[in-house]
Amino acid sequence: MQRIVIIGGGAGGLELATQLGRKLGRRGKAEVVLIDANPTHLWKPLLHEVATGALDSGIDELNYRAHGKVHGFNFQLGRLSGLNREQREVVLAPIHDEQGELIVPQRSVSYDTLVIAIGSVTNDFGTPGAKDHCIFLDSRQQAERFHRTLLNEFLRASNSENPRNLEIAIVGAGATGVELSAELYNTAEVLSSYGLKNVSPEQLKVTLIEAGERILPALPPRISAAATRELEVLGVAVRTGTLITEANAEGFVTKDQGTIPARLKVWAAGVKAPEFMKTLGLETNRANQLIVNASLQTEDSNIFALGDCCSVMHSDGKPVPPRAQAAHQQASHLVKALRAHHQGQPLPEFVFRDKGSLVSLSRYSTVGSLMGNLTSGSMMIEGRLARIVYVSLYRLHQIALHGYWHTLLLSLVGHINKVIRPRLKLH
């Protein structure tokens, strides 16, 4: 029996494991194994909501092992540390507990076909002090760390006789930076309504920093302009054309030797694949991404890649953007490609279809474009319609994992939780 091993349980990797488990694993046509360094999955575009407390990760997370039991694949907890292409084995690092004691020793997992879907991490571009003084939002653990720090700052202000404004600076005005900026004001407003003294949106000073000429550079200029207006109404100081050269305990230093004071500092500028991708013996680019062909196949015919950790060219000659919708489409493509690969048939080519992009400004607004390059232009939407479409993107991810009826129940539970639970996670 063929063994298909998938490394990485992000949006693309988990959707692929789920679909292959249903089509091949349940029927005994292949053994499907998913490996991830964490026991649970949380949709990465939601991390900014975890960071501000708008989302309780304990409720929305998905357990890989339980999900695999239902959908026909096996799960192994582990972190990729090496690759033996001759023996067709992946090497998983040992697992230790919080006291440093060994739980699981280093081990190898054999494969017939390997899919690498490790995703990406934030790219600090080697900026001095960024790793020491900034919080990144690459994982649930990092988002929860920011949430705890944020609550502590608000609590400190609430119990201070002379509270000062809470200064937060965010480097990178892509979707994560923009959405986090807006969500912070919602957090301050909700905490104020719960009775925290000296806490209000007016006492929150958020600076959004972008090296380019406008925020949301991947989206059309008119959407960028609309988002800028909305953020400035909230109170966000939007600074474009600002290059950061250093991060320190007081804030950020700009290229022109100016300073941006900040007690909390977030780095959300750019993405790259993890550094160890360069050690696997496969071709990578400057962002550590695996170079794949039009079928998402690396130079090794038995190894494929999808999502942010790989680089594949769009029909216009540009790389497919590292977005959740690209990983979703690549997962669906690989279901067909891997079946063709096992049957010795020609592999279909991946074609990315840009459905547009949406950015949520918390409960205040949502802006974006639909259709992308499927038409001669794109249709700009905002407000309630845009919010409905934005929420539907997460529902589509859930449908891919659970099916329509299960997703309908999850949606119902979500609405019930909004009624019976606090509007914000307060711990």
Which residue has tokens 């959740």?
324
* Structure tokens belonging to residue 262: 């900040």
Residues 6+ positions from 362 with CB-CB distance below 8 Å:
54, 179, 182, 183, 185, 186
Neighbours of 247 (CB within 10 A): 24
What sign for the dihedral angle of Cα 44, 49, 53, 57?
Answer: negative
Query: Tell me: the pLDDT tens digits for 225-253?
Result: 989 999 999 999 999 999 999 999 999 99
Q: Where do the DSSP E strands lie in 309-423?
A: 310-311, 356-361, 365-370, 379-382
- Cβ atoms of residues 295 and 346 within 8 Å: no
Query: DSSP 3-state assignment of 98?
Result: coil
CA atoms within 13 A on the CB side of 19: 22
Distance, CA of 240 to chain centre: 23
Render 201-255 in DSSP notation, one character per residue.
GGGEEEEEE-SSSSSSTTS-HHHHHHHHHHHHHHT-EEE-S--EEEE-SSEEEET
By the 8 A CB rule, do 286 and 277 touch? no
Separation of alpha carbons 393 and 389, rounded Å: 7
DSSP conformation class of 313: B
Over its length of 427 residues, how does the chain's per-residue pLDDT go in tens digits?
A: 899 999 999 999 999 999 999 999 999 999 999 999 999 999 999 999 999 998 888 888 999 999 999 999 999 999 999 999 999 999 999 999 989 899 999 999 999 999 999 999 999 999 999 999 999 999 999 999 999 999 999 999 888 888 888 999 999 999 999 999 999 999 999 998 888 888 889 999 999 999 999 999 878 888 899 899 999 999 999 999 999 999 999 999 999 989 999 999 999 998 999 999 999 999 999 999 999 999 999 999 999 999 999 999 887 778 898 888 899 999 999 999 998 988 889 999 999 988 777 788 877 777 776 654 433 455 666 666 666 777 788 888 999 999 999 999 988 888 888 778 787 887 7
| Per-residue pLDDT tens over the stretch 342-393 | 888 999 999 998 877 778 887 777 777 665 443 345 566 666 666 677 778 8
Rg (CA), the chain: 22
Q: Which fold, 122-270+356-420?
A: FAD/NAD(P)-binding domain (3.50.50)
Among 28, 36, 33, residue whose Cα is nearest residue 9: 36
pTM: 0.92
Structural domain boundaries of the chain?
A: 2-120+273-342, 122-270+356-420
List CB contacts of 348: < 8 A, sequence separation 6 or more.
295, 333, 336, 337, 340
Q: Just give the CATH number of 2-120+273-342.
A: 3.50.50.60
